[in-house]
């Protein structure tokens, strides 16, 4: 920690040393203060200047890190979602990690179990350092049935209850809007069944769609490679 602080101080001081000296000289020269107070000022001034410079450097670093959200990012969506723990979030709350997303419904007995298996297979093949930068997200297309409680139970039943797994539900309108973004088509074909696309989508840390895997039980090598590539970017 001390080394990092010293490095930051050096970086900032190298850029602003001349400005600092000028500021100190001007302040002392222009200040109408007594000799004793001037000595005190000379003592504390370097610390005040150092604090101001470090604060300035911190502000600059924050400005560099906080990139504007692109027009293609899902983080622009204003929709509200609820996760398996009952917490209300927006898509932008997931910003900073690579997102691997799929749309399912928990009562599905045909395609969804295979999509879930594909997601678990992808997760199992990611290295531990890559997993730290990845969030695996399952979005329900049946929010009426898939309550947070039901999503939580489903995650436990399928051994998908680790921190890297997120289950989301929202309103029908928000779900339809998000499905359109993922190019996922679905419709209700009976009171308990849906017909839907089988697509796993990969978003980069800025929320931009960068890859899609379509089908069930397909070779996921390309998907793994893309997730790893995005997760290892600076």
Mean pLDDT of the chain: 83
pLDDT digits (tens, 9 = 90+) for 163-203: 999 999 999 999 999 999 999 999 999 988 999 999 999 99
- In angstroms, the CA 217 to CA 220 distance is 8
Q: How far is CA 195 from CA 102, 105, 224, in A?
A: 14, 11, 27
- On the question of pLDDT at 17 being above 90, the answer is no
Residues 6+ apart with CB under 8 A from 172: 143, 144
Is residue 145 a contact partner of residue 106, using CB atoms and an 8 Å limit?
A: yes
Domains of the chain: 2-65 (no CATH), 74-231 (3.40.30.10)
pLDDT digits (tens, 9 = 90+) for 46-81: 555 555 555 555 554 444 456 788 999 999 999 999
Structure tokens at 152: 């939580």
Helices (H), 31-78: 35-65
CA distance 214 to 24: 65
Statement: residue 16 has pLDDT above 60: no
Give 37's pLDDT tier (boundaries 50, 70, 90): low
* pTM (predicted TM-score): 0.72
b/e burial code for range 198-207 (CB count within 10 A of at least 16 → b): bbbbbbbbbb
Model confidence pLDDT, tens digit, residues 82-96: 999 999 999 999 999
């Amino acid at each position: 920690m001390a080394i990092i602080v010293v490095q930051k101080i050096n970086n900032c001081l190298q850029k602003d040393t001349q400005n600092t000296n000028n500021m100190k000289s001007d302040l002392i020269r222009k200040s109408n203060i007594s000799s004793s107070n001037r000595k005190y000022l000379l003592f504390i001034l370097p610390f005040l200047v150092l604090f101001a410079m470090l604060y300035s450097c911190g502000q600059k670093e924050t400005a560099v890190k906080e990139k504007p959200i692109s027009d293609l990012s899902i983080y622009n969506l204003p929709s509200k979602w609820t996760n398996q723990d009952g917490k209300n979030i927006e898509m932008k709350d997931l910003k900073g990690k690579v997102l691997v997303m799929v749309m399912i419904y928990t009562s599905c007995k045909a395609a969804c179990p295979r999509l879930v298996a594909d997601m678990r297979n992808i997760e199992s093949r990611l290295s531990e350092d890559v997993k730290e930068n990845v969030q695996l997200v399952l979005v329900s297309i049946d929010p009426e049935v898939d309550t947070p409680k039901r999503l939580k139970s489903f995650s436990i039943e399928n051994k998908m209850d680790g921190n890297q797994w997120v289950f989301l539900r929202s309103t029908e309108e928000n779900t339809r809007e998000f499905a359109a973004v993922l190019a996922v088509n679905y419709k209700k074909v009976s009171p308990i069944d849906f017909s839907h696309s089988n697509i796993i989508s990969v978003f980069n840390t800025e929320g931009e769609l960068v890859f899609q895997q379509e089908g069930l039980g397909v070779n996921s090598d390309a998907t793994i490679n893309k997730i790893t590539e995005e997760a290892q970017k600076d």
